[in-house]
Structure 1
Amino acid sequence: MRRIFMNATALAATLLLPAGPANAHPHVWITMRSDVVFNDKAEVAGIAVEWTFDDGYTQMALEGLDTNGDGVYSQSELEPLTQENLKSLKDYNYFVVPRVNGKIVAITDPTEYGQIYSNGKLELHFTVPLAAPADPRKAEFLYKIYDPEFFIAMDYIQEDPVGVVGDLPKGCHLEVKPVVSDQQLDQTRQMLSSKGADWKPPEDEDFGGMFAQPALVMCSK
């Protein structure tokens, strides 16, 4: 396992496969926030994400990147890591799953991406455009951000977890559903323990999505 956290994810998926999904647990932790990006027609045009990595991954990822030895990780020094991360994330749709009326909608490659190391924390940010804008006044729009194999735990920050870039349509507001309760987790674990290694969740959901907090744009009709 080197600097690319997605390599670790692929490795974990291989290791966890014989034991089944009930034994999966995270090995990397990310705290995050996100913004819903609106265009000038008050349609959802994309999702902007900000991830802060845990200390263990940060130290592994930064190994050998301070090429001039000055103790500062410049944008140029972090650029190869950013490119490697995004290239690896592409196969997983960048961990961003938007839905319109319950159906997953397509996204395109990230824009406005970058990575910084500050105050002992490594942070990655990028914006994932929707392939086609969605109007939340006409159809329910929600999204989840998560690792489908649950190797990486992704939790929203407590304050200001979700925001807006652009103008939120009149009569609409943002809502982040609560973290899954311990009781719900126990029920899910019990259900998973009875399933085989080849079991998959229904309704085009996946394993990691069962534990992810949905963020919604709620509009009055």
Structure 2
Amino acid sequence: MAAPLGAHPHIFVDTALRFEVNDANEITGVTVTWTYDDFFTLLILEDYGLDSDGDGNLTEAELDTLFGFDLIEWPEGFEGDLYVYSNSEKIEMPRPRPIGIAVEDGLITATHYRDIPAVPVDGLEVLQYDPTYYVAYDVSQGVSFTDPDCSATVTDPDQQVAQAKIEEEVSGNMEDIFNEMRVGIYFSDRITMTCAQPSN
């Protein structure tokens, strides 16, 4: 019965985040870039009937077909796997809008933009994760800002703590093994940021 304790994702996404910063050192939006793993890329291309010659080069028409593919399904309660907290208070954001699509080196890279209600950089924490941990996100492509005086610190998840949380989820109730465990948050990178104070 130990197998369910080894929760693991099925889709892997390398991420880049670029935050919009106004003159008051407030975050007002974020450009999110997701590069999907090779197996998921293959599944999507096959599902859409694209790249029939298998050379990894899509025509403009094929790219237009693929544009925004990962934002079509938006079930109730879905938050886009991006969570922004200001002094521990979650910031509600509108749905993203797709702004880019590419297939490079055999991988799909999709880009979208999300508006963020203006919130001070100080006290801000950003997490990107799938609550069910079906998708694993890694902020490996970096965090950047429109203001060069801002910087980010990315803290990796503690894998031992995450695994302990999984064991905690199922301990004492065997029925939980067959339910959806929402443990993704424990595997999330945590992003904090700072900006130089605006000059008077």
Structure number with higher helix proportion: 1
Q: Is the 8 A contact 1:75 1:116 kept in 2?
A: no
Secondary structure of 2:72 counterpart: helix
SS in structure 2 of the partner of residue 77 of structure 1: helix
8 Å Cα contact 2:31/2:112 also seen in 1: yes
- Structure 1 counterpart of 2:121: 136
Report the equivalent of 1:81.
66
Could you tell me how far apart the structure 1 residues matched to 2:166 and 2:158 are? 12
Aligned partner letter, 1:167: D
Residue by residue, what CA displacement relative to the aligned partner does 1:176-216 show, whole Å, maximum 9, x if unpaired?
11x22343233223322316539999xxxx53112101111
Q: Name the structure 1 match of 2:81.
A: 95
May I ask how many residue pairs the two structures share in their alignment?
189
Taking the aligned partners of 2:130 and 2:138, their CA distance within structure 1 comes to 11
Asked if the contact 2:144–2:151 (Cα under 8 Å) also holds between the matched residues in 1, the reply is no
For 1:150, the aligned partner's letter is Y
How far apart are the structure 2 equivalents of 1:78 and 1:141? 35
User: Is residue 7 of structure 2 the alignment partner of residue 31 of structure 1?
Assistant: no
| RMSD value, Cα | 3.2
Looking at structure 2, the residues matched to 39 and 220 of structure 1 have their Cα atoms a distance apart, in angstroms, of 12
Q: Give the unaligned 5+ runs of structure 1.
A: 1-20
Q: Is 1:161 the equivalent of 2:142?
A: yes
> What is the one-letter code of the residue matched to 1:155?
D
Structure 1 89/161 Cα, relative in aligned 2: closer, same or farther at 3 Å? Answer: farther
Does the Cα contact within 8 Å between 2:127 and 2:189 map onto a contact in 1? Answer: yes
Q: Is the 8 A contact 2:126 2:192 kept in 1?
A: yes
Instruction: Considering fraction of residues, name the structure with more strand.
Output: 2
Q: 1:69 to 1:163 in 2, by over 3 A?
A: closer
- Once residues 40 and 219 of structure 1 are traced to their aligned partners in structure 2, the CA distance between those partners, rounded to angstroms, is 11
Comparing 82-91 with 39-48, which one deviates more in the overlay?
Answer: 82-91
Residue aligning to 2:105: 119
- Between the aligned residues of both structures, percent identity stands at 24
TM-score, reference length from structure 2: 0.78
- Greater shift in the superposed pair: 69-78 or 92-101: 69-78
Segments of structure 2 that go 5 or more residues without pairing to the other structure are: none
Residue 188 (structure 1) aligns with = 165
- Look up the SS of the partner of 1:184 in the other structure: helix
1:85 match: secondary structure: helix
2:160 partner amino acid? Q
Q: Say if 1:79 and 1:114, in contact at 8 Å, map to a contact too.
A: no
Aligned residue type for 1:81: L
Q: Secondary structure at the match of 2:79?
A: helix
Change (3 A) 1:108 1:195: farther
Note the 1:17-56 alignment, pairs <5 A. 22=5, 24-56=7-39
* Partners of 2:12 and 2:136 within 8 A in 1: yes
